[in-house]
Amino acid sequence: MLYTKQNCMVEWSYTSSKKYGDPFNEVELSAVVTDPDGQARTVPAFWAGGQTWCIRYASPKAGYHHFYTICSDVSNMDLQGREGEIEVATYEGDNPLLKHGPLRVSPNKRHLEHIDGTPFFWLADTWWMGLCKRLKWPKDFQTLALDRIDKGFSVIQIVAGLYPDMAPFDGRGANEAGFPWEEKYERVNPAYFDKADRRIDYLVNLGLVPCIVGCWGYFLTFMGIERIKRHWRNLVARYGAYPVVWCLAGEYDMPYYLSADKERDQNLQRMGWKEAGAYLREIDPYRNPLTIHPGSFIREVPGFADILDFDMLQTGHSDDSIGNTVFRIRQSYQSEPIMPVIDGEVAYEGIGGQCKEQVQRLMFWACVLNGAAGHTYGANGIWQVNTREKAFGPSPHGMSWGDTPWEEASKAPGSHQLGLSKKLLERYQWWLFEPHPEWVETNVSEENRRRHYYPYAAGIPGEVRIIYLPFFYSLFKIKGLEDGVSYKIFLFNPVNGDEIDYGIIKARNGEWSWPPPREDGISWTSLPIFQDWVLVMESTGLDNGSC
C-alpha cells in the first residue's frame, strides 16, 4: 500500500531483471489508476536509468486508488501487470496548490482557477534557464524563489533544459549532471532530470506553479517530431502529477538563429508543434493547462488554438512596445475560440537600458485592464542567469542581451511594484472584471492613440471600477455612472502601494470629472505626483438620488 495526501505526488518504481541494451527506446511503461469514483487514467512512467522505471501519481480525491501496470514488453513480468493500492488522505495544509488543487480554465474561459473553483491570478516571473547549474542549487535557486513568493508571484516560467540563445549542448545550458539528452538525441539523461526534480519540487512546495516550457521551438528541427514526443512523454511522466502548466515550446515557429533556410524551418516548426500539441493532449492524464510561447500570433495558424487552453503572447522589448501589447491583448480577447490570454514576454526590465519600472507598471495594467488573465514579468539578467563571476555572453547571432547579474536583476523595483498591483486587484472579484474603455474620457493626441498610450479601465458595473492613468493624463472624465449608485474613490500609488482617499463622488448626469473639488475650495490641477496612478472606485450602494 502506498500513501499520500490530496494533490500530493506519490512515486513508486519497478526494476527489470531482464536486461535491455537501450531501455529508454525499447520499453514503455504506464500505470492505469482507478480512483474511488471509478474513473481510470493512464499514467506514463519515466525511465529512471539502468533497468528501472518510476511512476508518479496525484489526485484531488481522497480514498483508495487501485492501479495495474502495462508494459510494451508484455512478457516482462517485472513490469507487466503489477498491481497495487494508493491511499489518498485529506490534505490539511496551507499550500494553495495542494489545498485548492492544480489549475484549469474557468467556466467563462477568461481566467485560470484551481480545480475547486478558487480563482488563480497569474503573475509569472521568467527564469528561462533556471534549471542550469549557473543558478546554483540550493542557495541561489531558493533565494530567488523565496524573493518571488514574498513579492506576490504565483508562477515561474522555466525551460526544460533545451534553451534559447545557445547552440545545442552549449556548456552554459548544463546542470550538475550535464544535459537533458545525450548527444545525437539518442536518449534522455535521467540524472539531469533528477537534479531538475529538486527545483521543480521546491517551487511547488513554496506555492509557485511551474510553467514548464518543453524546449525552444527550433529544437524540433534538430530532434525531429518523434524525439520531441519522447521528450514530452518524459516531462509528463516526471512532472504531470505536480500542479504544473505546460508550454509546448518557446518561440515555437522561430527558426534557429543561423538556419540556412528560415522559411522551410518555420513551416516545419508550425506543423510539427501542432502535431506535438495533439500528442501531449493525448498522453497527459491530468489535462494540465496547455499553452505555447509564440513567435507569430498563434490564432493565425488554422486549428492550433483548438489544442490550447490559453493564449500566451510575446509583444516586444522596448519602451515603445505598448502599442503592440495592447493591440495583441485586445485581438486575442476578441477572438474565437474564447480562451484566457496572458502576455508571456514583454519588455524585460532593464533590457537594452530600457523598460524600467514605470514601463513594467504600464504593461501590467494595460494587459490586465484590457482583459488579460494575469501578466508575466521578466528581468534582464534573470532569464539567462548572468552571474557575478561571468555573464551569459553572446547568443548565436553574436550579440549579448546584457551583463546584469541575476542577484542585481532580482532587486529591480518593477518586480516589487507588480506584486503591489496584484495585491490591489485581489481585494476585488478581479475574475469578473471586463474591459470598459468607454468609462474614461480624456484628451488623447492622435500620436498617443496610435500608440495605444492612454488610460485603461475595467471592473464590474455598479460594484467597482479601476482606471489606470499613465503619465500626462491628469485631466479626465468618468462616464456611464449608474443612476443611484455612489462610489468611494481613492488613488493607488503603484510605486509604493500608498492610497489617497478622496471620499464619495457626486456624479452629474452619469459623469464625474477629475480634478475633484477640495474641501478648502481649491481644485486640484493635476495628480499628486508626476507619475502614473491607479484610480479605484468602490460602490457604496444606493445614495437616495445624490448622484
Report whether the peptide linkage leading into residue 138 is cis, meaning its omega lies within 30 degrees of zero. Answer: yes
pLDDT at 508: 75
**Positive or negative: CA dihedral 255, 260, 263, 267:** negative
Predicted confidence (pLDDT) at residue 545 exceeds the cutoff of 50: no
Q: Is 272 left (phi over 0), alpha (psi -120 to 50) or beta?
A: alpha
Residues in the chain: 547
pLDDT of residue 200: 98
- Its pTM stands at 0.97
Pairing between β-strand 155-159 and β-strand 209-213 as defined by DSSP bridges: parallel
Residue-wise pLDDT for 197-218, tens only, equals 999 999 999 999 999 999 999 9
Alpha-carbon Rg for the chain in angstroms: 25
The predicted structure's pLDDT at residue 66 = 98
Closest CA to 243 of 292, 205, 274, 199: 205
Under DSSP, is residue 3 helix (H, G, I), strand (E, B) or coil? strand
Instruction: Say whether 281 sits in a helix, a strand or coil.
Output: helix
113-166 per-position pLDDT tens digit: 999 999 999 999 999 999 999 999 999 999 999 999 999 999 999 999 999 999
Degrees (nearest 5) of the Cα angle 118, 119, 120?
115
Instruction: Please return the burial class of 361, using the count of CB atoms within 10 Å of its CB with bins 0-12, 13-18 and 19+.
Output: buried
Confidence class for position 521, pLDDT limits 50, 70, 90: low
From residue 405, alpha-carbon distances to 90, 166, 249, 543 in Å are 43, 18, 26, 55
* 164-186 burial: b if 16+ Cβ within 10 Å, else e: bbbebeeebbbbeebbbbeeebe
- Calculate what percentage of the chain has a pLDDT beyond 90: 89
Confidence of residue 547 (pLDDT cuts 50, 70, 90): very low
Asked if 444 contacts 476 with a C-beta cutoff of 8 angstroms, the reply is no
Q: Where are the beta strands (DSSP E) in 214-279?
A: 245-247
